[in-house]
């Protein structure tokens, strides 16, 4: 991929902070494109994959759409719509909450778990291929990103 200046054909930036923001936005797009191509053969979006991972983390305990929304990586995603699409594919179930009929519980199905298991090694390989850093550099990058968000 190379330097950001080459990728977007811009000779220089106003300051290093402007360059960092542009670089992060460009890198985000690069990562999303890579994920899209990884998940597309499974008729899945990165956001749907994120929902499935959240539900797997519930260890069989039901959760609500609003709880899923709170934990999503992309806060602009519509969790209700994503859950409905996953339900249509048989990857999640929506059930009325026994203690509160207004609440809908969401759980991952066995089919959803199987899909995550199928994707696990592919995602691992893709991540290490996309992030062309040593393990130590990846730790440093994570620390810097955490620091950036304050």
Verify that 8 and 50 share a domain, yes or no. no
63 within domain boundaries: yes
Res 103 pLDDT > 90: no
Mean pLDDT of the chain: 91
First to last CA, the chain: 28
What's the pLDDT at 11? 86
Verify that 70 and 1 share a domain, yes or no. no
Residue among 51, 39, 116 at smallest CA distance from 77:
51
135 within domain boundaries: no
24 within domain boundaries: yes
Q: Which domain holds residue 122?
A: 45-129
Verify that 74 and 120 share a domain, yes or no. yes
Q: Distance between CA 92 and CA 28 in Å, rounded?
A: 28
141 within domain boundaries: no
Express each pLDDT in 15-46 by its tens digit.
999 999 999 999 999 999 999 999 999 999 99
What's the pLDDT at 113? 97
Q: Distance between CA 74 and CA 70 in Å, rounded?
A: 10
Q: Distance between CA 115 and CA 108 in Å, rounded?
A: 11
Looking at the structure of the chain, the number of domains it has is 2
149 within domain boundaries: no
Using 50, 70 and 90 to split pLDDT, how confident is the model at 97?
Answer: low
Verify that 31 and 67 share a domain, yes or no. no
pLDDT > 90 fraction of the chain, expressed in percent and rounded:
70
What CATH number should be reported for the domain holding residue 87?
A: 1.10.10.10
């Amino acid at each position: 991929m190379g330097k950001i200046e080459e990728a977007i054909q811009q000779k220089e930036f106003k300051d290093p902070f402007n360059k960092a923001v542009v670089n992060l936005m460009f890198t985000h797009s690069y990562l999303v494109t890579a994920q899209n191509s990884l998940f597309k053969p499974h008729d899945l979006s990165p956001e749907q994959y994120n929902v499935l991972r959240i539900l797997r983390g519930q260890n069989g305990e039901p959760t609500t759409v609003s709880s899923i929304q709170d934990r999503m990586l992309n806060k602009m995603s519509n969790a209700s719509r994503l859950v409905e699409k996953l339900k249509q594919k048989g990857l999640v179930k929506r059930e009325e909450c026994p203690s509160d009929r207004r609440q809908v519980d969401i759980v991952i199905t066995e089919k959803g778990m199987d899909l995550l298991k199928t994707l696990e090694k592919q995602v691992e390989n893709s991540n290490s291929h996309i992030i062309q850093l040593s393990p130590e550099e990846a730790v440093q990058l994570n620390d810097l990103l955490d620091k950036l968000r304050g």
